[in-house]
Amino acid sequence: MEETPNLLVPSWDVVYQLLIQLAEAITAASYEPNLIIAVSRGGFIPGRILADLLGCAVMRTIGVSFYEDIGRRGRMPTVTQPLSGPINDDALALVVDDIADTGETLALVQHELEPLVRGLKTATIYRKPCSSFIPDFSGQETDAWVIFPWEVCESVKRIGKRLLQSGRTFPQAQEYLLQAGIPRGHVQKFMEDLLEGGR
């Protein structure tokens, strides 16, 4: 990732609208999942919302680790938390993650889970054009680093720390984050936490 990456900061309303569109596309494709599997951590919240929109009562999670920092990946994704509960081999599963970046996380999850269920489809809110894995359902395409509403604190601190380490002043780092679209109150709070040694 570049020192000053291109950021996309969708609001809760934008994310929710994209999830509504995903649910409509899934329904239009006549796929009726009776099991949502959220990829931890990015898939937690979109998975729960899609479960609500699709009327799916059963959810499970699976943990996969790839990124070591904003834009810094490990060599290969690995399953860090096994499937959170039993699944029926007759299930029609929908695997949900926030974004298909390289695609390797979703490819791993599909490989692990597809033999366990009757049907499996994948869905993400965003997808990168460079992704080697094309989800069955996805919202917008973007080259930007997406900061979702549920990860603003972590993102501000990590990006802010990197900017400060590169020689940017505190006001310059704040301005960069503000220009990206992160609300002023969040930038001030989390950057101040960073200066005070907060994690």
Closest by Cα among 81, 101, 90, 91 to 38: 81
- 102: three-class secondary structure by DSSP: coil
Which pTM was predicted?
0.89
Q: Which residues of 4-14 are buried (b: 16+ CB within 10 A; e: fewer)?
A: ebebbbbeeee
pLDDT, the chain, mean: 92
3-class DSSP state of 183: coil
What does the pLDDT look like over 47-84, one tens digit per residue?
999 999 999 999 999 999 875 555 555 567 888 898 99
Residue 28's pLDDT is 98
**Cβ–Cβ < 8 Å for 89, 117:** yes
Q: Would you say residue 110 has pLDDT above 60?
A: yes
Position 74 scores a pLDDT of 54
Question: Where are the domains positioned within the chain?
Answer: 7-146, 150-195
> What band does 1 get if pLDDT is binned at 50, 70 and 90?
very low
> What's the pLDDT tens digit per position in 146-194?
999 999 999 999 999 999 999 999 999 999 999 999 999 999 999 998 8
Alpha-carbon distance of 124 to 126, in angstroms, equals: 6
Q: Which residues make beta-bridge pairs with 180?
A: none
pLDDT (tens digit, 9 = 90+) per residue, 39-54? 999 999 999 999 999 9
Is 35 within 8 Å of 124 (Cβ atoms)? no
79 sits in which H/E element: strand 72-81
Would the pLDDT of 137 be above 60?
yes
Q: Is the peptide bond prior to 184 cis by the omega test (within 30 degrees of 0)?
A: no
The two structure tokens encoding residue 29: 């494709």
- Please say if the pLDDT value at position 199 is more than 70: no
Average pLDDT over residues 82-91: 93
Distance CA 151, CA 197 (A): 19
SS3 172: helix
Sign of CA dihedral 149, 151, 130, 120: negative
Q: What is the mean pLDDT of residues 11-20?
A: 98
CATH number belonging to the domain at 7-146, selected among 3.40.30.10, 3.40.50.970, 3.20.20.450, 3.40.50.2020: 3.40.50.2020
